[in-house]
Chains A and B, each alone.
Chain A
Amino acid sequence: MFDFLIDGFGVALSPLNLGLAFLGAMLGTLFGALPGIGPINGIAILMPLAYTLGLPAESALILLAGVYTGAEYGGRMSSILLNVPGDAGAVMTTLDGHPLAKKGLAGPALGLSAVSSFVGATIAIIGLTLFAPLLAQVAVMFGPAEFFALMIFAFASMAVMMGKDPIKTAIGAVLGVMIAMVGVDSGTGVLRYTFGMAELYDGIDFVVMIIGLFAISEILLMLEHANRQDAGDEMPPLGRVMVSLKEVLYCKWTMLRCGLIGFIVGVLPGTGASVAGAVSYTTEKRLSDKEGTFGTGNMRGLAAPEAANNAAAAGSFVPMLTLGIPGSGTTAVLLGALMLYNITPGPMMFSERPEVAGGLIASLYIGNVVLLALNLPLAGLFAKVLTIPRWVLVPGIAILAFAGVYQLHSDLMAIYLMLIIGVFGYLLRKLGFSLAPVILGYVLGGLMEDNLRRALSISGGDVGILWQSGISLGLWIAAVLLLVLPWLLPKLLTRKSLDGA
């Protein structure tokens, strides 16, 4: 049964393919680290190149898969160092990653996130190897109603992020949902909140949103502090650069749990690394944040989204390889690459082109090891970014942000929009809002609305469809429990101890 994998390692370990896996991992890390260039653009840039160079199908796919997984590694870098997510999956990484860097633990934080990424990706690749065809059957059972219930569950699990200021968290999430409403309505094709501007028809682009909200507001904050000589504002000196074994072991269960969550979310078509990061972070906060230190630089809070987003990246290969259905935007582009090579993705691929299917999976294993080897020693080097003085760093981030958004849209309107969102984000931060609920509301809210509308158009307006299937019913119950248990459990426990007394 695993013949294809053995053949696959034979293919992936040839000097050319090994070199390509290495190159892809390097480039991917770079693409992920640069705000604005995510895995999708990285692959879209390299795909025509690979084709024009006349690389055989399996080599091209190995290169592109390396870029994809590499980008999930790279995205964390600017999240941790600059509080600016490098790509969609790394939004939650800022929450605990950046506070760690502020404590002088940038090196260990980068190291730990590399290890978590490795663990998460490994879990997912093993899952992909063993259970791909089975999982694909489950994944298609997720229809609009089930996705809607999943989003309800995700919002319910966000309740743990309420923290000290539940009202501000709720307002932030609603603002995010409102931003997600801009653009063509998915059901009827009616334009909403576009003010007649064609640039807004497609809604507000994810990259514009995260770069504006995080990078531009961060730049504005830095500028505000530039003339102050507050001692407390400076970054502490860099301490040790390597992550310790103790820290890794402290997070071992986090990595395993979140790797699994990330993989499952990644397998579902239509949800990807950003949803995986959000769900795993909130779950982990609920499970292991006993002292309430999540958000202030807890190692587990960093390991959770990092394990999950890499696992989701690998998980999204499941529907692509087994059903020929892309599980994420990036695998959709990869699917296009396969078609260019006249390869039929789906179950037939394992029997007809085993060298491609096996080679790809084997290269995921190899690429993952390469990435760990590449990222651990470099953590100390990258951490030095923090020693760059502000007058170099701020313009540097600004250039990256502007170039990143412009190369994506070739249109100045996107830049203006990014700036407007940036000022908005800056004001929110000054008012004491956390940006994470805003971005989560934006991501989950859009998905939730689309799927609600779809479910209702299937049923002809009958809301019963939303809890008809076992999957959606289970998710509803889980969501209700998430909301009720934290309030109910302590009461039950006290009664029990009273009874016992």
Chain B
Amino acid sequence: MKFNSAFRHWSSLLVLSGALATGTAQAQSDASECIAPAKPGGGYDLTCRLAANGLQETGLIDKPMMVSYMPGGIGAVAYNHVNGVRSDDPNLIVAASTGAAVNLALGKFGQYDADEVRWLGALGADYGAIVVKADAPWQTLDELMKDLKTQPGKIVFGAGGTVGSQDWMKAALTAKAADISPRDLRYVAFEGGGESLAALLGDHIQVFTGDMSELRPHLESGKVRVLASLSEERLGGPYAEIPTAAEQGYDVQWPIWRGYYMGPEVSDEAYQEWVNKLETLSEKEKFAELREARGLFPMSRFGDDFDSYVKDQVAQFKQLADEVGLTQ
């Protein structure tokens, strides 16, 4: 009997883990699924949940959408998976972002390029930001840029991605706007925005090129100063005071869209149905609340409009990568 009770105990663990794993298989039958091509908890998770919660709460889908995770290569593994294994699944959408477009441009998604999938649409966007510590000598972007021109080696940039990542692109574009070659820029790659911010507060780096939404908690703390928002125009709400880079005379914009794609062999009907669903969702008031709760700004591009937007962006990044000698 001793053995029995222990076995029963252990078997409950088995059942739980089994349930977690088989949940994946069962839910595939007819309910829709969103693949977050990362570990749980990150930006892609947020993108998938935005669609899943939004569609569910507005009644646009009757069965809950499942969110599954496929980490690897900032989306490369999922991109290959969708192209190779589930290329015609009408119930599957995959989260993507500007980061994926950058990697497509750099050829880091393996044999596939941006033309391989059907780009569905974007439901929200975030914007880049140029941040310095509150006691830094620069009050405006212009002051920083002037110092950067005279002594580029003294000002160290840092952000949460490697050279060539979308985080680095923000720093590189800023440098370019000051007529400094991105190759001469001192740039430190951290693991995520949190570490970069810690390095900024500890005076290890002088400029952090982050994202607006992750800065919201720090706007009021008075520890950092956001010199510029890399958006087309000023953002509202708590960000209203932050000038854009363009209005300070430097034409740098960096929207980080959060959207979705489907497999290349999905039928036109299924594709159009999803486009319509997402478009309807984006117009709902309830959705605006959900989007704002996740720190995202409005962005609505769907179907062919979005498709050409992504492809243009990839082409543009390719050109930039060539300029700074990033492409292998």
Contacts and interface: CB of A to CB of B under 8 A. Distances in A.
Nearest to A27: B16
A33 interface: yes
B20 A37 contact: yes
A127 interface: no
Interface in A346-405: 346-348, 381-382, 384-385, 387-389, 392, 396, 399-400, 403-404
Contact of A411 (B77, B165, B195): B77
Contact of B220 (A348, A382, A404, A458): A348
A328 to B, nearest CB: 10
Contacts of A201: 72-74, 76-77, 108
Nearest to A141: B202
B225 to A, nearest CB: 15
Contacts of A139: 198
B186 A411 contact: no
Contact of A345 (B109, B195, B217, B223): B217
B216 A186 contact: no
A14 interface: no
Interface stretch (B40-48, B141-149, B255-263): B40-48
A336 B110 CA distance: 31
A144 B198 contact: no
Contacts of B109: 198
A409 B71 contact: yes
B17 A403 contact: yes
A289 interface: no
Interface string B16-50: 11101100100000000001000111000110010
B136 interface: no
Interface stretch (B6-14, B173-181, B305-313): B6-14
A403 B20 contact: yes
Contact of A186 (B162, B194, B197, B293): B162
Nearest to A327: B194
A272 B229 CA distance: 33
Contact of A33 (B5, B13, B223, B293): B13
A332 interface: yes
Contacts of B213: 339
A340 B186 contact: no
Interface in B161-211: 162-165, 168, 186-192, 194-195, 197-199, 201-205
A188 B162 contact: yes
Given A44-B41, A185-B162, A344-B221, 17 more contacts: A33-B13, A141-B202, A143-B204, A186-B162, A199-B73, A201-B77, A324-B218, A325-B197, A332-B41, A339-B217, A340-B294, A392-B7, A400-B13, A403-B20, A409-B70, A409-B72, A454-B189
Q: Give the size category of B's interface with A.
A: 35 or more
Contacts of B67: 48
A36 B21 CA distance: 12
B276 interface: no
B72 A319 contact: no
Nearest to A42: B40
Contacts of B21: 403, 406-407
Interface of B: 2-3, 5-7, 9-10, 13-14, 16-18, 20-21, 24, 35, 39-41, 45-46, 49, 53, 67-74, 76-77, 79-81, 106, 108-110, 153, 156, 162-165, 168, 186-192, 194-195, 197-199, 201-205, 213, 216-218, 220-221, 223, 293-295, 326
A460 interface: yes
Interface residues of A, number: 79
Nearest to A188: B163
Contact of A335 (B73, B165, B194): B194
Interface in A181-202: 184-189, 191, 196, 198-199, 201-202
Interface string A246-275: 000000000000000000000001100000
A400 B198 contact: no
B40 A44 contact: yes
Contacts of B5: 381, 384
Contacts of B190: 454
A333 B198 contact: no
Contacts of B203: 143
Contacts of A191: 108
B80 A385 contact: no
B217 A344 contact: yes
Give the most central of B35, B188, B295, B326: most A CB within 10 Å: B188
B24 A410 contact: yes
Contact of A458 (B20, B106, B205): B205
Given A187-B162, A270-B191, A450-B191, A323 B40 contact: no
A116 to B, nearest CB: 23
A144 B17 CA distance: 39
B202 A143 contact: yes
Contact of A269 (B72, B106, B186, B195): B195
Contacts of B164: 188-189
A215 to B, nearest CB: 13
A198 B216 CA distance: 33
A321 to B, nearest CB: 12
A369 B171 CA distance: 48
